[in-house]
Amino acid sequence: MTAPRACPCRDCCLDGAPDQIARMVHDLSGIVIGPDKGDILRARFQRRARLLGLKTLAAYFDLIAGASEERDRFISLLTTNVTGFFREAHHFDLLARQIMPGLDRIGRRINIWSAGCSSGPEPWSIAMTLQGHCAAMARRTRILACDIDAAVLHKARSGCYGADEVTGLSAAQINRHFCACGDGPLRRWRVAPPLRGMVEFRQLNLHDVWPGLPAFDVIFFRNVSIYFDPPAQRRLWQRFHDQLRPGGWLLIGHAERVPADLQHLLRPAGLTAYRRPDQNCEAVP
């Protein structure tokens, strides 16, 4: 008896070989698909391919290789964008109590990077912390907020959030930093002008080159490295070190760690906080 012919996938159906999907996702974003995520992603890609009238996943992948608009869609289908205002709140306490007082002594412009900013609550929370604790410092601070996902960046830039998304904020914070638009269940909250001028949003794949970025005083790189493989993570720890000013801070997510053999570049400085050593001031506090 002859064995049934294996489905070639390239030509006959929308199944798509799992390794082909994983390779495509990794090549375009650096994201490693966990064993539990493969089927979910395949279903999303299949739905999208069908909608576009394509008969195979291979045809869909060919389209992505060429068309930038569809590539943005593809990336939006695969990213995990969970976020929230003042998420992992200890970093905002650290910013207000330790980092800002240290920077206040320096009169120059301050640069902060939210790398993997999702739909914006992280950079807006940074801006609120600065405005809330020292308006003069806020005026000389620029926050760069980057993400690979164009759809979440669009929302981040709009600064517009539903009532269910601002639950992490106090009434005082909402009154001070947001304007209400709409009424009743349709009411939304829009970030108000003083904060809006502080943040620049930019689409960026962190695995690509970082053209024209300044040296940063603080980098928030939280809950992003968990999606990458260890070699990609190592490259990023080194690149973040290079992009920090001496004495600058790197803040990462609760499930993330800079490996011990790189801690001469990024020294532990509190809960999921690291600092680039300052040669001129050996004892970074």
Ligand X SMILES: C[S@@+](CC[C@H](N)C(=O)[O-])C[C@H]1O[C@@H](n2cnc3c(N)ncnc32)[C@H](O)[C@@H]1O
Residues near ligand X (CB under 6 A) are 29-31, 79-83, 87, 116-118, 122, 147-149, 152, 204-207, 222-224, 227, 253
Residue 188 assigned ligand-binding role: no
Smallest separation (angstroms) from ligand X to the CB of 55: 29
Strands 160-162 and 188-191: antiparallel
Q: What is the rounded distance in angstroms from the CA atom of residue 174 to the CA atom of residue 186?
A: 17
Q: Which is nearer to ligand X, 54 or 145 (CB)?
A: 145
Return the active site residues. Answer: 44, 147
Smallest separation (angstroms) from ligand X to the CB of 223: 4
Return phi, psi of residue 128, to 5°.
-65, -40
Q: Which of 50, 45, 51, 48 is nearest to 33 (CA)?
A: 45
Q: Which is nearer to ligand X, 15 or 256 (CB)?
A: 256
- Cα separation of the two ends of the chain: 74
In single-letter form, the type of residue at position 239 comes to R
Q: Which is nearer to ligand X, 10 or 44 (CB)?
A: 44
Residue 279's alpha-carbon distances to 54, 128, 164, 193, 265, in angstroms, are 58, 32, 46, 39, 11
Q: What is the rounded distance in angstroms from the CA atom of residue 149 to the CA atom of residue 30?
A: 13
Smallest separation (angstroms) from ligand X to the CB of 217: 18
Q: In this structure, how many other beta carbons lie within 10 angstroms of the beta carbon of residue 242?
A: 11
Residue 87 assigned ligand-binding role: yes
Residue 169 assigned ligand-binding role: no
Smallest separation (angstroms) from ligand X to the CB of 86: 10
Residue 111 assigned ligand-binding role: no
Residue 272 assigned ligand-binding role: no
Q: Which is nearer to ligand X, 31 or 110 (CB)?
A: 31
* Binding site residue list for S-adenosyl-L-methionine: 81, 83, 87, 122, 147, 205-206, 222-223
